[in-house]
Amino acid sequence: MEIRNDIDPRMNRYVELALNQATEVNADIVIIDMDTYGGAVNDANDIRTRILEYDKPVWVYINNDAASAGALISIACDSIYMRPGANIGAATVVNGNDGSQAPDKYQSYMRSIMRSTAEENGRDPLIAEGMVDDRVEIDGVTEAGKVITFTTSEAIENGYCEAEVASLRDIIEKNGIYEYELIEYELAGAEKIISFFLNPVVSGLLILVITGGIFFELQTPGVGFPLAAAGIALILYLVPYYLNGLAANWEIAVLFLGIALIALEVFVIPGFGIAGIAGIACVVGALIFVMLGNDNFNFDYVPSAEITQAALVVVIAMFSSIVLLFVLGYRITESKMFERVALITEQRKEDGYTATFYKEDLIGKEGIAVTILRPSGRIEIEDEIYDAYTRGEYIEKGDKVRVVSQEGTSLKVRSVKA
């Protein structure tokens, strides 16, 4: 299997799946083709633990670099092989945003797991610690102020490499194995699909569908398919990030809480206030957090470029969905397709449709104002009391009035004198 990218939740899952397949095919040896500058310490530690606990030999071929988290994973392997010009070491924990050294509590943790990993495989633990801490001094190896990074020849000299090789097959044959089948691990089709949906561009399109579908459903309640599309897009957005360890349970809970607050603001609470603002903040924040490898609210080891990218993807997608809703919303509601799924017939007054609550036609009849009409009040016609209103004129109590319209629950009247 290849470790050719940053150590992150995706790589963590990749290694887990590769080891599972190695077990399924009953592989005798697992070889890691390594070239990485490192990554997240927590994911590297997960990979390290899996390798140490694996019941078959695990070898690593450092194809160019095994820096930082890559060095930890390499030391966990039973045998280390390096190509000419390769390097291993420089495992100091750094801040993902500016590259500065992390606080000593993180360095202490890294020193500890580097030492214990080296001891487990019979390597000098002080050298492993020196790959993290520049205060370590070892005669003939390093001096204070320098973090250990070995070339291929230096690694061989100090017991951190078994041999210099030019290829994977050289490693196998150097161990006296000449009849073998070399299986290269590849992600299954479902995993490739999951990786596809982790692409920031695809994530942005899914967010566009989610927000656009919800807004469209709120504008035209009862249609159904925009909400269904939003639900499907939400599943396709969350599941890949959840399987890769990026979407935490609390982030998903915050997302649904935000949706619930927005719905509460729209359907229950009049106006737009705290619930709506809090709902939008929860939704936007959760969608961003889902894409990042943060530890709760600790972003020390999340590169600033990844935070910026995630924020831009979410904000641009949501803004685009709103723009598209206003630009295309009218055209969609006027389309033939929309007529098939929604009732859009209007009963217009000019077509003869009216709404009246009166048993007989009162238009043209005269009555007496029993209250002042300014412009609404009550009138009496043939001993019956009715609600009435004028077109803006004031009518005194006792004046005669004539009905000019009887739509709805009130009669429109005017003064007989006028």
285-309: per-residue pLDDT in tens? 999 998 887 777 877 667 676 788 8
Q: b/e for 268-305, b at 16 or more Cβ within 10 A?
A: eeeeeeebbebbbebbbbbbbbbbbbbeeeebebbbee
**Weakest-pLDDT range from 99-113, 221-235, 357-371:** 221-235
Q: Cα angle vertex 208, ends 206, 209, to 5°? A: 65
CA-CA distance, 86 to 351, in Å (whole number)?
A: 84
Share of the chain above pLDDT 90, in %: 39
Q: How many domains does the chain have?
A: 3
Does residue 234 form part of some domain?
yes
Average pLDDT, stretch 341-359?
63
Please indicate, yes or no, whether residues 371 and 245 belong to a single structural domain of this protein: no
**Tokens standing for residue 304:** 């600033």
Determine contact, residues 114/160, Cβ cutoff 8 Å: no
Record the tokens describing residue 379, joined without a space. Answer: 């009138």
Domain boundary pick from 142, 174, 206: 174
Residues 61 and 8 in one domain: yes
What CATH number has the domain bearing residue 86? 3.90.226.10
Q: Quote the tokens at residue 353.
A: 């449709």
Residues 120 and 265 in one domain: no
Question: Do 315 and 410 reside in the same domain of the chain?
Answer: no
> Above 80 in pLDDT, residue 350?
no
Instruction: Give the model's pLDDT for residue 276.
Output: 81
Asked if residue 17 and residue 114 are part of one domain, the reply reads yes
Regarding whether 157 and 215 lie in a shared domain, the answer is: no
Residue 236, domain extent: 189-341
Q: Are residues 164 and 254 in the same domain?
A: no
Residue range 76-85, pLDDT digits in tens: 999 999 999 9
Q: Which segment, 177-181, 348-352, 355-359, is predicted with the most confidence on average?
A: 177-181
Q: 203 and 63 share a domain?
A: no
Among 309, 341, 373, the domain-final residue is 341
**CA 246 to CA 248: how far, in whole Å?**
6
pLDDT at residue 320 tops 70? yes
Of 112, 139, 174, which residue sits at a domain end?
A: 174
Q: From the CB of residue 108, how many other CB atoms can be counted at a distance below 10 Å?
A: 12
- Kindly report whether the global pTM for this prediction surpasses the value 0.85: no
Residue-level pLDDT at 363: 87
Give the type of residue at 109.
Y
- pLDDT grade for 383, boundaries at 50, 70 and 90: confident
Instruction: Give yes or no: residues 122 and 203 share one domain.
Output: no
